[in-house]
Structure 1
Amino acid sequence: MTSYRGLKAQRLLLLGLSGAMVAVTVGAVAPGARAADEDRQGGAPTAPRLTWRSCERAGGPAGQECADLPVPLDYRDPAGPQVTLAVTRVRSDRPAARRGTLLVIPGGPGGSGVDRVVRTAGPLRQQLAGAYDLVGFDPRGVGGSARAGCGLAAGDRELVTLRSWPAADGGIAENIARARRIAAACARNGGPLVRSMSTANEVRDIDRLRQALGERKLSAWGTSYGTYVAAVYAQTHPDRTDRWVLDSTGDPNPARVARGWLTNMAQGADDRFPDFAAWAADPARAADGLRLAQRADQVRPLVLRLAAELDRAPKPSNVPGAPLTGNRLRQALQNALYGDESAFAGLASLINEARDPAATPRLPGDVAGPLPDPDAAVAVATICNDVEWPRDPESYRRAVAVDRARHPLTAGMPANITPCAFWKDRPADPPVRITDRGPADIMMIQNLRDPATPYFGTKKMRAALGQRARMVTVDHGGHGAYLANGNACGNRAVTAFLRDGRRPRQDVYCAG
């Protein structure tokens, strides 16, 4: 729901950059093609067989394979123009223990499933003992899949402008103008591929991939925005799901979708910040020069005061043309709250450099420059194509004024206007309402202090799923719990479910 951060898809809800897939030589026909031949989707042609080629890379998982999957640009015309999706697979290293395919669904929108398989294959293999082939794909518009951009100016593709941070006085006139400009550019330049970027089409693409893999059912591990994709798939195709994991989940309210997720980030930052404050006031930080205050309750006013000072007088940074402003600091703070102590150290260093008159702040990469145009396009297009957003700019002005007073750390940004307010095309598909109808094969895992998908929103997904799901709540902070920012107790629970099918009889709490 990682997946506008850009450089680490798993750490942000509304944007995840993807790496290009490097592929080389040789092919083989996918096993299980007979199942795909017998499985037709709404009158669509039989799903193609995947021709695999080796694409091992230095530092990546052994035996990695890649393939290209053609899917309809528009599923209303399944025999019409096709677009190609990049797919990767890491086969089970214990064939006798293999029970199926685990689809790794990334965050974003804009996260790369190919990249996520590469990064998680090692720990997944260790945890799952050969139970699955690991498969991921780049959604349309991402990484090695078909790409399209909106032709956005560089200044409109920065994280601190794609995220609509209000002016120092709370004004949003510049945000309104930029949102209108981005929407117009996407309508003018994006073409049919940008118009096709949506959760509904990603779900359709997943089912086409399932057919091409020759699988009757898939297991899945979705993270952040990927949990919403996974939940919609499970709601739409309950008979095609095996063991389903939702890791760091947002509120599934179909009337709001991404608008609700973005708004919830304000409370999420407040929930997570005390972890950073305690860390930054710990005497142990003094040895590294990273202790910001004597007491934890002094850290928040320090950060707010510094951001206000940078609003008035931005400080030149190590990146020409990109001074450290109050909003760049706020965005760097929000990004750091997604991660672990290594992210906290980078934020503390930036704060120290901003406070030191003799120092030049070194901007973190994710706030230092523009994103590639296709990555900006997919992040914006997906959330705008999924659900209709309010169109009246005045409603956003009012919401920002209230939100910045309640949540100074995020300064009104989560309630602010986006290009969706001016999006030309209405959603082609109605949002799916998540219900408790379907098999009881879902495991949720959630950190208590998640800044992107806060716990109170996750509980709404849990309530919607009813007896279909069990939830593991982890007393921890950060975004992404399983094999990431969680703890051993949570990891064991998810591993036991995926590997052995052991789902708890009731929800589980994992102490920190």
Structure 2
Amino acid sequence: MRAARFISVATVLALAAVTGCESSGDNEAAPSTTAPAGLGSFYGQKPSWKGCGSGFECATVQVPLDYSKPSGEKVGLSVIRLPAEDKSSRIGSLLTNPGGPGGSGVDFVRQAARAFGDDLRRRFDIVGFDPRGVAASDPVKCNTGPQLDEFFATDASPDDQNETNKLGDEGKAFAQRCKTKAGTELPYVGTMYAARDMDVLRAALGDNKLTYYGASYGTYLGASYAEQFPKNIRALVLDGAVDPKLSSTELLIEQAKGFETALRAFADDCVKSGGCPFGNSADAVIDKVASFLTATDKKPLSNSRDSRKVTESLAVMGIARALYVKEYWPVLRQALTQAMQKSDGTYLLALADEMVERKADGSYSNQTDANMAVNCVDKPNPPNLATYGKAAAEAKKVAPRFGPFVVWGGLPCVYWPVQTKQEPKPVTAKGAPPIVVIGTIRDPATPYKWAQSLADQLSSGVLLTYDGDGHTAYLQGNSCITKATDDYLITADPPKDGTTCR
């Protein structure tokens, strides 16, 4: 979730379309006219919606950069919506966030809005937004394409102090570039600010109460909203939950363990499918992958796309990308076969590039920069390289293939120019209506135990389980998950706590 190397976004494009369900619900409530002191102009704004292609409408909503200084500098949030198909039975807006942090909510809705349930699309405007610092919302932009190429290719499984120092140098350089290019913005891009923005969006959209679907990091954003505005909630779905009470390094270590779980699921599937080229047992497949990564550490792979060498770090990133969604497993099988048999990392590199939104011309979206900027200010970070190295060593013990790569990916936060002393704590959202938390048992990026923990922390948490693979559940096309989620969003009546879908 946290490291720029392993960004958790809802991977909807490769997923099967979902089906809707029929239900009933109350008509839209009158919009709230109450705004916090000094923020009336923000809460009372009416977006100027304009058509932006394929039936979508786009607008910009203004929020204060610093909520303690509402008359100061402003941030324009890019917003998109697919209007409800049936205006006569419209309930309101369904605000969404795809995760990251750093994922574009505008792009998410453009790509995925029509994959939401039929009844949801009929009765809700499906709304996405780019959070502050992301994509089209005053983006944090620190690094050039070549600089990010170097950052991602750096050996994130150091074998000696020289390699560790190289990681430290890359982390320092990343942080310094963000201080130079985005220093005034960095204190204000954290999740707590983005959650406050969501309440401005709720009012600007004309909704008395918030209806929200958040995936991956979007669950942390949604939980933060619930903690700050429990009385303003109509229905919240938190899919692929992040555990708010964990420290920054605890999150990374647990995420690395999640990728190990997903790798074993891939290995089991490869063997059961027959003709697995990597071994005749899951253990043999995992050993083969581990040996391949060790060899790639010593001798990087070539690729036919450009002049880059496919280092061990890039190979691990490519593997991780494919583990996010089960539909990519055949691609991973092909990529590993190409890499192991031909020393050709072309397919793995393509997966890695997709993971971090690297374009064919060598440029990147601002996903990585925004991801780091948000994560580094959300929670306290280890004080120095040596302390951080201890966390990476712990991760390697419990997640040998992924631990070091996931943990070292967040190293720039050690050197970040803006630090918080606010320790993580449980989120209770006392006074909120039922909040549905969805967990996928073999989720690689947000381990199932996080969903269990968040549902338990929330005073009104309801756990919905998907016994399956891949990152997040709702847009995977499982009819049980789809119906339970759609029914709740439409009626605000949750499924029974502990419901499991298969």
TM-score by length of 1: 0.86
SS at structure 1 position matched to 2:462: strand
SS at structure 1 position matched to 2:377: helix
Deviations 1:434-492 (A, max 9, x none): 015122320111100111110122222121114x01111111011011022x6322222
1:158 Cα offset (Å): 6.1
1:415 and 2:389 are equivalent in the alignment: no
Pick closer, same or farther for the CA change 1:326–1:501 going to 2, 3 Å. Answer: same
Q: Residue 231 of structure 2 corresponds to which residue in structure 1? A: 239
1:160 Cα offset (Å): 2.9
Distance in 1, Cα, partners of 2:272 & 2:160: 33
Distance in 2, Cα, partners of 1:430 & 1:122: 39
Name stretches of at least 5 consecutive residues in structure 1 with no aligned partner: 13-31, 58-62
Q: Residue 60 of structure 1 corresponds to which residue in structure 2? A: none
Total equivalences in the alignment: 477
Deviations 1:302-321 (A, max 9, x none): 10011111111112112333
1:51 and 2:48 are equivalent in the alignment: yes
Deviations 1:296-346 (A, max 9, x none): 3311001001111111111211233322222222111111111123x1122
* 298-307 or 124-133, larger mean C-alpha shift: 124-133
Equivalent in 428, 440, 445 of residue 447 of structure 1: 440
Equivalent in 260, 284, 297 of residue 270 of structure 1: 260
Q: Residue 89 of structure 1 corresponds to which residue in structure 2? A: 81
Q: Residue 21 of structure 1 corresponds to which residue in structure 2? A: none
1:365 Cα offset (Å): 2.9
1:149 Cα offset (Å): 1.4
Distance in 1, Cα, partners of 2:393 & 2:442: 25
1:421 Cα offset (Å): 0.7
Contact 1:220 1:244 in 2 (8 A): yes
Distance in 1, Cα, partners of 2:97 & 2:342: 45
1:41 and 2:31 are equivalent in the alignment: no
Counterparts of 1:58-457 in structure 2 under 5 Å? 63-128=55-120, 130-151=122-143, 154-156=146-148, 160=152, 165-168=156-159, 171-253=163-245, 256=247, 258-284=248-274, 286=275, 291-341=277-327, 343-357=328-342, 361-368=346-353, 372=364, 374-416=366-408, 418-427=411-420, 433-435=426-428, 437-457=430-450
Contact 1:250 1:453 in 2 (8 A): yes
Structure of greater relative contact order (alpha carbons < 8 Å, 6+ residues apart): 2
Distance in 2, Cα, partners of 1:356 & 1:504: 49
Distance in 2, Cα, partners of 1:462 & 1:104: 19
Distance in 2, Cα, partners of 1:506 & 1:33: 27
Name stretches of at least 5 consecutive residues in structure 2 with no aligned partner: 13-27
1:227 Cα offset (Å): 0.3
What is the identity, as a one-letter code, of the residue corresponding to 1:347?
L
Pick closer, same or farther for the CA change 1:353–1:308 going to 2, 3 Å. Answer: same
Contact 1:434 1:465 in 2 (8 A): yes
Q: Residue 23 of structure 2 corresponds to which residue in structure 1? A: none
What is the identity, as a one-letter code, of the residue corresponding to 2:364?
P
SS at structure 2 position matched to 1:420: helix
Aligned-residue sequence identity (percent) comes to: 29
1:11 Cα offset (Å): 4.4
TM-score by length of 2: 0.87
SS at structure 2 position matched to 1:56: coil
1:70 Cα offset (Å): 1.5
1:56 Cα offset (Å): 1.6
Distance in 2, Cα, partners of 1:138 & 1:274: 35
1:492 and 2:483 are equivalent in the alignment: yes
* 151-160 or 404-413, larger mean C-alpha shift: 151-160
